[in-house]
Amino acid sequence: MAGLAFAFLVTALLYAAVGFGGGSTYTALLILGGIAVGLVPAISLACNVIVVSGGTIRFARSGAMPWAKALPLIAVAAPLAFLGGLTPVKQGALVMLLGGSLLASAIALLVQPQAAKPVNLPPKLLLPIAAGLGYLAGVVGIGGGIFLAPILHLVRWAEARAVAATASLFILVNSLFGLTGQLIKGQGGAMVAAVADHWPLLVAVLVGGAIGTQIAVKTGPAVLIRRLTALLVGFVAVRLLFGF
């Protein structure tokens, strides 16, 4: 498990440095590591919660969190994340959905622009998107922020640190609601046991996430780190989809 723990540490560091939790890559790494697919979302979401909890708190304390704009997105996404967690999905479908999501994430990370100034966008245009991302997050076992952030950048919703803060909060709440749905869906005891058995991974993301969060809070999401994260995500996606 040492190799997997190191991969989780690096993933948490890179993702946290750009305001994300890493759930999509944790899920892929666990599947590639042969973990039973029914138990993967619980481990991945638990790691997500650990990484983004500290980031969300630090962003809030630094004054970077745009609460008035972020909370409506959270409010529509969280219930759908819960429903996504309740949705049964077969391993083949999960692998394809996750692999496609990872490829989309890598592309989004590479092309997203940095907003120089925030530009107001009618909430009604973003709310359905946030709801859909919440559902995807619950089904696959991710937080959804890696998809939300590029969209917010593209529409110049806010400056970079505010977007990173919003993505962190979005991931935290969706992960909690998605995890609740996963536990209710079935195998709750087995999922809890799986999380406990993989405690080295939780420690790894705690350390990596703390380092990455400091980078994000102090400097904002760096372009180089974002590109490195995109390369990591793309590599895992290709390996997951094509088996090499």
What does the pLDDT read at residue 217?
A: 63
User: For 20, which DSSP code?
Assistant: -
Residues 90-146: tens digit of each pLDDT: 878 888 888 887 788 788 777 765 545 555 666 678 899 999 999 988 888 888 888
Give the torsion sign (CA, 199, 24, 134, 122): positive
- What is residue 36's three-state secondary structure? coil
- Secondary structure of residue 102 in the 3-state scheme: helix
What is the domain partition of the chain in residue ranges? Answer: 2-242
> What integer pLDDT is reported at residue 111 of this predicted model?
72
Residues constituting the chain = 244
**pLDDT tens digits, one per residue of 12-38:** 998 888 778 888 789 888 988 888 887
212 neighbors 14 (Cβ within 8 angstroms)? yes
Encode pLDDT of 167-208 as tens digits. Answer: 989 999 999 999 999 888 766 677 888 888 999 999 999 999
Q: pLDDT at position 83, please? A: 94
Single-letter residue type at 23: G
At 92, list the tokens. Answer: 């083949």
The mean pLDDT of 218-223, rounded to a whole number, is: 62
Average pLDDT of 149-174? 86
Question: For 49-79, what is each residue's pLDDT tens digit?
Answer: 999 898 888 888 888 899 999 999 999 999 9
CB-side exposure of 155: number of CA atoms within 13 Å? 13
